[in-house]
Amino acid sequence: MTRPYVATRSGEMLHRRSFDVLVLGGGIAGLTAAIGAARRWRVGLLTKSTFEETTTFLAQGGIAAAIGEGDSPELHLQDTLQAGAGLCDEEAVRVLVSEGPDRVRELMDICPRFDKVDGQIVLGREGAHSLPRIVHAGGDATGSEVSSALAEAARLGSRVQLYEDEFVIDLLTVDGRCVGALTLNLADGGLTLNVAMVTVLATGGAGQVYGRTTNPLVATGDGVAMAYRAGAAIRDLEFVQFHPTGLAVPGQQTVQLVTEALRGEGAYLRNAAGERFMTEYDSRGELASRDIVVRGMVAEMRRDGVEHVHLDATHLEAGWLYERFPRVTAGLREHGLDLAKDLIPVAPVCHYFIGGVVTDVWGRTTVPGLYASGEVASTGVHGANRLASNSLLEGLVFSDRVVRDLDRYIGRLGEDVRRLSFDIPEGAPAGTSSDTAAARGRLTDVMQHKVGVLRRAPELQEALDELGALTSELRFDLMGEAEYEILNMLTLGTQIAKCALLRGESRGAHLRDDFPELDDERWRKHITLRLPEHERSEGVGKVTPRE
Ligand code: SIN
């Protein structure tokens, strides 16, 4: 979808900021990049909401790293490749697992609250890891512990200029090179041109395009959509990871995650008859990779005509459960459930976007001046199915690499882009405004029911038709956060449905009911998308540099 994105409201004043390095996103990837880059460069970090409103903040599992006795980067590599079902980039995985341990040790210096017993770090186990290798903090509160420590380090110990409530409308490009971003301040509605030599995209995922997700409200795929409009290659969008154990209570879009670490500690999955079933699908039982657990759950739910199975932790000691899983315990209490006493209803839920903006092993996208790190990026480490707790690690490792590379990149730049100024074309008034909440409801409903965990060609085609109709119906007079978000979500939803229809096989997180087998001969490859050049310049309303 192309439209004049950066058209401003008439007569609006544009503010201006300029940086050496502009970081977009306040999760682990953005904060790590900003703190690292600020050692040498003038850095601005913009986040769409607050540092508490990120996917990182919600992470329960932990961070996988080969630091335990008997573990090695080679074992971590093998587990990651096996989970990735033939689509991992082995060079990128090697970087992840070999640099991971040092990055995690450095993080422990910033965030001292990682869980230890007798001074020794405690390692948890999660699905498809061949041995315990997940470090965690505050039990299942790893995300909030890490986020808070990094945000504090950025605020107090570094020279990063931090801006919250700053919605990124679009990337600024000049002659195909990224030179910053146009943003909308959500508190005062002001527009700002943020000009920078280098921009680091770390805007996270897009779970909110689905009707049920573990992701926070801000996860609307803005980064992938704006990078696509700017001409960056994006790929693997059909690989949307559904987490097996989202709390199955009706009527909620943002769903409480019931961490995989519970199964790592010995909790079982039980079907409608109360029987354990996962060992029938995989010898690793409940600790098979996520795609396999989801397939097993869906098969049982279909056969029994039910909408969920149960997670059973009632055989584990109550006091220990509450202490090890304080977040899950508190979340379940809100629904009148007790981890130690009740069977917990769980069903697969949209959790993680494996695909994203294509990068090399230094975080460089195909657009000069634009780097990407974290969930927004497709580094190739996850293949077709992400191994549990590899995502925070990916943000740490690749943001560190971005910092090392941008030192080289900025050093080589002859021209100072900070001196550029811009004209923003104005949009023509539509004369009417669509209801964004209704449009969002239609979109998430289509995605949940027609592009969900188990896919078939007729529904995927219907989804594409409905999303196409919705896109062409939308009209906006004034553009604000909700309007930009729905357009970004439609871009993402449409491309996910297209790629899912195209990939006529089942692989990793992409399950096709009508193509249940893996087809290596035709499909051991990525689907990569790139907006044609003429659409980039004509449709997107790019800023034009002035003398
Ligand atoms: C979980 O805690 O189950 C989620 C961890 C992850 O997504 O890696």
- Ligand 1 within 6 A of CB of 389: yes
Bridging pattern class, strands 370-372 and 191-201: parallel
**What is the CA(140)–ligand 1 centre distance, in A?**
10
- Ligand 1 within 6 A of CB of 259: yes
pLDDT at res. 6: 43
C-alpha neighbours within 13 Å on the C-beta side of residue 54:
34
**What is the CA(327)–ligand 1 centre distance, in A?**
13
Residues acting as catalytic residues: 290
Most confident of 35-39, 410-414, 428-432: 35-39
Question: Which residue's CA is the nearest one to ligand 1's atom 2?
Answer: 61
Percent of the chain past pLDDT 70, that is, above it, reads: 94
pLDDT at res. 289: 93
What is the four-CA torsion angle of 494, 498, 500, 501, rounded to 10 degrees?
Answer: 130
- Ligand 1 within 6 A of CB of 61: yes
pLDDT at res. 7: 43
pLDDT in tens, 368-427: 999 999 999 999 999 999 999 999 999 999 999 999 999 888 877 656 676 777 777 666
Determine whether 220 is exposed, middle or buried from the number of CB atoms within 10 Å of its CB (0-12, 13-18, 19+): buried
- 64 CA closest ligand 1 atom index: 8
- 60 CA closest ligand 1 atom index: 2
- 386 CA closest ligand 1 atom index: 8
Pocket test for ligand 1, best of 126, 213, 286, 293 (most atoms within 8 A of CB): 126
Residue 268 CB partners (closer than 8 Å, separation 6+) = 276, 278, 286, 311, 312
Question: Which residue's CA is the nearest one to ligand 1's atom 4?
Answer: 61
Residue 217 CB partners (closer than 8 Å, separation 6+) = 49, 53, 208, 254
Pocket test for ligand 1, best of 136, 146, 243 (most atoms within 8 A of CB): 243
- Ligand 1 within 6 A of CB of 388: yes
- Ligand 1 within 6 A of CB of 47: no
Q: Mean pLDDT across the stretch 162-175?
A: 94
Q: Mean pLDDT across the stretch 51-76?
A: 96
Angle of the 142-156 helix axis to the 391-412 helix axis, nearest 10: 30
- Ligand 1 within 6 A of CB of 260: yes
- Ligand 1 within 6 A of CB of 264: no
Q: If pLDDT is split at 50, 70 and 90, which confidence band does 536 have?
A: low
491 three-state secondary structure:
helix
**What is the CA(61)–ligand 1 centre distance, in A?**
4
Q: Mean pLDDT across the stretch 287-291?
A: 94
Strand runs labelled E in 327-369: 344-353, 356-358
pLDDT at res. 371: 98
Is residue 77 predicted with pLDDT exceeding 90? Answer: yes
- Ligand 1 within 6 A of CB of 366: no
Q: If pLDDT is split at 50, 70 and 90, which confidence band does 517 have?
A: very high
- Ligand 1 within 6 A of CB of 143: no
- 62 CA closest ligand 1 atom index: 5
Beta-bridge mates of residue 528: 235
Residue 257 CB partners (closer than 8 Å, separation 6+) = 58, 60, 214, 243, 245, 246, 247, 328, 349, 351
- 245 CA closest ligand 1 atom index: 3
Beta-bridge mates of residue 370: 199
**What is the CA(213)–ligand 1 centre distance, in A?**
13
**What is the CA(63)–ligand 1 centre distance, in A?**
9
Other beta carbons within 10 Å of 522? 9
Q: Mean pLDDT across the stretch 354-380?
A: 98
CB 497, CB 490: distance < 8 Å: no
Angle at CA of residue 217, ends 178 and 513, nearest 5°: 90
CA distance 5 to 21: 23
Closest CA relative to residue 247, chosen from 318, 375, 339: 339
Question: Which residue's CA is the nearest one to ligand 1's atom 5?
Answer: 61
Determine whether 423 is exposed, middle or buried from the number of CB atoms within 10 Å of its CB (0-12, 13-18, 19+): exposed
The backbone torsions φ and ψ at residue 314, rounded to the nearest 5 degrees and listed phi first, read -70, -15
CA distance 439 to 84: 34
- 390 CA closest ligand 1 atom index: 8
pLDDT at res. 540: 34
